[in-house]
Amino acid sequence: MINTENHPLLLLPPGRNLIVKKENGRVVIHEIPEWLANYLGASADELVGQPVEKNLEPAMPGIGELILRTRETNAVSGFRVALKDVNGNAHQLLLDAVSRTGHDSEELTSILLQEVTSTPPALVEDATFCGLVGASDPMQQVFNKIRMYALSDAAVLVTGETGAGKEGVAAAVHQLSRRSNGPFVTMNCSAITDTLFESELFGHEKGSFTGAIKSHRGRFERANGGTLFLDEVGDLPAVSQAKLLRVLETSQIERVGSETPVRVDVRIIAATNKNLEKASIENSFRPDLFYRINALQIRIPPLRQRAADIELLIQYFIKHFNRKYGRQVVCLTREALQLLQQYQWPGNVRELRNLMERLFAENQTEVIGLRALKEWYEERMIAARYTSGSSYTEVAIPPDRRAIALGMPEPVYNNPGRPEKIGALNNSEKRISEDELRKAYGMAGGNITRASEILGIHKATFYRTLKTLNLQREDLESS
């Protein structure tokens, strides 16, 4: 049996879950969202206790099979159904179901209803520029700078966090420049040791040192007539910085073991995730080299500052991995997308790409839902605790939006549009009293889901509190 209480992503959001149970040999509706009941042309109260086969199967073909499979396997993910409402409008839903035990030890099947939505492919194509994806204002500014700077031959410094796409921006500048027919050569400065720096960058002659069994052209020679991309240039040691500066000033190199200078025609694009201006002031990076490579600058915004691009990037990666793996994945559900839009993405676009490839490996469905993110979510939560001592939601999700991302009630805020919550946000901080239970139950008109939301707790916690206080639901109704 899956213990949903220990898995935040399996705690089904209020108003988004359908719960069924077996009663007298029939599978009946135990709880149904009001919006779904309205689609079926009835109220939630009218449908509770009614058989699934008669009331749900005609509108949602296959839901009976889903319930059967869930009872056999404890969990089913990625089950798609088509729903037609009373007006004849069609809706696509992804159903993730788990089998669990209710508050009175009855066997329940909880089904998370997630709407299938996707960005039209044309929009993804319109938002793609030289292999870079973005429709947000910050990315449009980056694209504009790429267009302008491609016309120049001056050095460009690309700044941004790890995984933001600095090499992609450098490649776009090269692709649009007059050097596009020339080579685009890259070198990761943080991966080259002091002893190999000159050989890798400038080349060496045969026999110039032990192991030099043949002549070797360095990156500058290989990039002649094109562009040399120096990634993580801020990690260069001081000695290597001086050697690089000399070449940039003279446009000449000398291979290790040679006394003959070689003239090169290379445009430099450097990238860093460090503040080189500050480093130059503190003398940890040569100021003269900084000014030499910083003639033009492009700053790439982190992914968390352009959340509007996340859905586009997801669609872009879906198309890429569909081609790579011969799959037919359509999209993520709206709920899964909302969770990813709340995450802060410390690894930026690279982290998102890696997650999408992982989802392709772990799921064989056409639509990927919220439950597919459960293990990844737990890993992020553990990693955040190790690195910061804080909970995942405090690190990765803005406090005022974490509830939306997890599909749980919002934190305690004075919101004039909704009843003020009378419980604590963190259940461990305050015990819910009998008076609070009764008050919330009355305010909610006897709706357990709404009462739990008013208290700021999950519905399962509401039932546990009832049991702790030795109360039944009927006791609340009689108050």
Determine the average pLDDT of the residues in 211-229: 85
**Per-residue confidence at 385, pLDDT binned at 50, 70, 90?**
low
Strands (E), 211-321: 216-217, 227-231, 252-253, 262-263, 267-272, 296-299
Please state which of the ranges 123-137, 151-165, 203-217, 400-414 shows the lowest mean pLDDT. Answer: 400-414
Say what the pLDDT of residue 51 is.
Answer: 92
Determine the average pLDDT of the residues in 401-409: 33
Residue 22 pLDDT > 70: yes
Tell me: the pLDDT tens digits for 43-68? Answer: 889 999 999 998 888 888 888 888 88
Residue 7 pLDDT > 80: no
Query: Which is nearest to 169 in space by CA: 141, 188, 197?
Result: 141
Higher pLDDT, 421 or 172: 172
Say what the pLDDT of residue 28 is.
Answer: 92
Counting Cα atoms < 13 Å in the Cβ hemisphere of 159 gives 13
- Which tokens belong to 431? 């015990």
Higher pLDDT, 422 or 16: 16
**Per-residue confidence at 398, pLDDT binned at 50, 70, 90?**
very low
Residue pair 350/161 in contact (Cβ under 8 Å)? The answer is no
Q: What is the pTM of this model?
A: 0.71
Residue 272 pLDDT > 60: yes
Tell me: the pLDDT tens digits for 101-133? Answer: 665 557 888 888 887 866 677 788 889 999 999
The rounded mean pLDDT for the chain is 80
Higher pLDDT, 365 or 208: 365
**Per-residue confidence at 196, pLDDT binned at 50, 70, 90?**
confident
Say what the pLDDT of residue 155 is.
Answer: 97
Measure the N-to-C terminal CA separation of the chain; round to a whole number of Å: 35
- Beta-bridged to residue 203, according to DSSP, are 217
Please state which of the ranges 211-220, 334-343, 398-407 shows the lowest mean pLDDT. Answer: 398-407
Task: Please give the C-alpha separations between residue 384 and each of 134, 205, 357, in angstroms, as whole numbers.
Answer: 28, 49, 22
Say what the pLDDT of residue 211 is.
Answer: 62
Determine the average pLDDT of the residues in 354-365: 94
Give the percent of the chain with pLDDT over 70.
82
Tell me: the pLDDT tens digits for 411-456? Answer: 332 333 333 333 333 333 346 788 888 888 877 777 887 787 777 7
Say what the pLDDT of residue 5 is.
Answer: 40
Query: Which is nearest to 348 in space by CA: 306, 298, 315, 401?
Result: 306
**Per-residue confidence at 15, pLDDT binned at 50, 70, 90?**
low
Separation of alpha carbons 140 and 341, rounded Å:
19
Say what the pLDDT of residue 209 is.
Answer: 64
Separation of alpha carbons 191 and 245, rounded Å:
19
Helix, coil or strand: residue 203:
strand
Tell me: the pLDDT tens digits for 286-316? Answer: 999 999 999 999 999 999 999 989 999 999 9
Residue 284 pLDDT > 80: yes
Using the 8-state DSSP alphabet, how is residue 10 labeled?
Answer: G
Separation of alpha carbons 30 and 56, rounded Å:
13
Say what the pLDDT of residue 473 is.
Answer: 80
Separation of alpha carbons 417 and 410, rounded Å:
13
Say what the pLDDT of residue 415 is.
Answer: 33
